[in-house]
Amino acid sequence: KGKRAFIAGVADDNGYGWAIAKSLAAAGAEILVGTWVPALNIFETSLRRGKFDESRVLPDGSLMEITKIYPLDAIYDKLEDVPEDVKSNKRYSGSSKWTVQECAESVKQDFGSIDILVHSLANGPEVSKPLLETSRNGYLAALSASSGSSLSLTYIASERIIPGYGGGMSSAKAALESDTRVLAFEAGRKHRIRVNAISAGPLRSRAAKAIGFIDTMIEYSLANAPLQKELSADEVGNTAAFLASPLASAITGAVIYVDNGLNAMGVGV
């Protein structure tokens, strides 16, 4: 029987979430996605109008099917947590059941259970500010949206200084990696669930473009990484499919670099 995967953080065909969905679909998994509420409309419309058809093609020539798209805002656990101005916001009021708890309940109601959970989302409202100038609210917002899950995407800014990755996003990724280890222990003992993170190299996604330095990071990697090629989202997707598969049955609590080896360099060349 094929596995069922829920991928949180897919709203176009440029990011890591989309590539992970494709790799999992190519391996035979059924795909459910969670899409940020404000991005839901445009994503569904584009998908329906065939805008993503070219990038939906799987290695066997068929098109990736997304069984269901769930609206999701990962910073709210339950309806009571949602402030009035968000509830009444036009971009939110058109959808319902998008808090984490309600979304999980909807998936449970529709499908019973899932086998694979991927967290491929991040949001740092003050990402372009240095940490030194980040407000408490901006810092907490970055942590709130950007940590937790069973397979997640992280960035080396958690452990090394990456100027420009601000607003508490470096802190959020450090928390995410620490949580990966502790959750691996707790969920492993309790449910035999494996928990891992992929530390990905730079990709020109929508989120990354918003940070403002993505082209510089890609050039830096091309110049300095052991493998001098641009990183493709599929390479991260394939690693995610491996980590979610029985081939990785002894891997848990790990942060796996998929970055052309850049992390291993001590100095630029």
**Which residue in the shown chain puts its C-beta closest to ligand NAD?**
15
150 interacts with ligand NAD by CB under 6 A = no
The alpha carbon dihedral of 197, 200, 203, 208 has a sign of positive
Would residue 165 show up in a list of annotated catalytic residues for this protein?
Answer: yes
In terms of phi and psi (left: phi > 0; alpha: psi -120 to 50; beta: otherwise), the region of 112 is left
Amino acid symbol at 67: T
Give the phi and the psi of residue 237 in degrees, each rounded to 5.
-60, -45
Scanning the structure block, which residue is given the tokens 């939906």? 56
Contact pick of 155, 166, 241, 243 for ligand NAD (by CB under 6 A): 155
Instruction: Give me the catalytic one of 70, 155, 220, 257.
Output: 155
**DSSP three-state, residue 149:** coil
40 interacts with ligand NAD by CB under 6 A = no
165 interacts with ligand NAD by CB under 6 A = no
Q: How far is the CB of 15 from ligand NAD (least distance, A)?
A: 2
Q: How far is the CB of 59 from ligand NAD (least distance, A)?
A: 21
92 interacts with ligand NAD by CB under 6 A = no
Contact pick of 15, 138, 167, 168 for ligand NAD (by CB under 6 A): 15
Instruction: For residues 26 and 135, give the distance between their C-alpha atoms in angstroms, rounded to a whole number.
Output: 43
* 10, 11, 66, 134 from 72: Cα distances, Å: 10, 11, 16, 26
Q: How far is the CB of 200 from ligand NAD (least distance, A)?
A: 4
Name the residue nearer to ligand NAD (CB basis): 9 or 168. Answer: 9
DSSP collapsed to 3 states, 183-242: HHHHHHHHHCCCCEEEEECCCCCHHHHHHCCHHHHHHHHHHHCCCCCCCCHHHHHHHHHH
206 interacts with ligand NAD by CB under 6 A = yes
Instruction: For residues 163 and 157, give the distance between their C-alpha atoms in angstroms, rounded to a whole number.
Output: 9
Contact pick of 6, 36, 52, 165 for ligand NAD (by CB under 6 A): 36
User: Distance from first CA to last CA of the chain, Å, rounded?
Assistant: 49
The interface with ligand NAD within residues 209-268 (CB under 6 A) comprises none
- What letter does residue 57 receive in the DSSP assignment? B
Contact pick of 9, 138, 148, 237 for ligand NAD (by CB under 6 A): 9
168 interacts with ligand NAD by CB under 6 A = no
167 interacts with ligand NAD by CB under 6 A = no
Contact pick of 120, 149, 150, 252 for ligand NAD (by CB under 6 A): 120
Would residue 92 show up in a list of annotated catalytic residues for this protein?
Answer: no
Positions touching ligand NAD (CB under 6 A) are: 9-11, 14-17, 36, 39, 72-75, 120-123, 145, 153, 155, 200, 202-203, 205-208
Task: List, by residue number, the catalytic residues.
Answer: 155, 165
